[in-house]
Amino acid sequence: MDQCKCVAFSAILTGSRVYGKPTEDSDIDLVVLMSPEKGADLAALMGEGLNLNVIVETDPKQFEIWGVGTALLTAQAPVSRDTAVAVFAEMREKEARK
């Protein structure tokens, strides 16, 4: 694998591995906050065969939604994927109305 000088400001483990019911086929969802330029570098390094879903967020407010939403869902664990999607959608809607 090529070397990456990708500096993330922060990262959050989220998804079924944290608040759902993961199976052996479940991927690992990792949200990282980083600059758009470095995010593109990281995305270019992600190859096939990795069971890792890296979500690059460049907006600190959107990153915060991931953190708060993950904490809320973890407190209610286990939750379904549909529930998680609905929670994050509602949080993004509220943020958009501000």
| Blockwise average pLDDT, block size 10, the chain, 98 residues | 66 95 91 82 67 88 96 97 97 95
**Helix, strand, coil shares, percent, the chain, to 5:** 50, 15, 35
Q: What is the pTM of this model?
A: 0.83
Task: For residues 51 and 49, give the distance between their C-alpha atoms in angstroms, rounded to a whole number.
Answer: 6
Compute, in degrees rounded to 10, the torsion defined by CA atoms 7, 10, 16, 19. Answer: 170
Task: For residues 91 and 85, give the distance between their C-alpha atoms in angstroms, rounded to a whole number.
Answer: 10
Sequence spans of domains, the chain: 10-97
From the list 95, 16, 29, the residue with the least C-alpha distance to 60 is: 95
Q: For residue 1, what pLDDT is reported?
A: 44
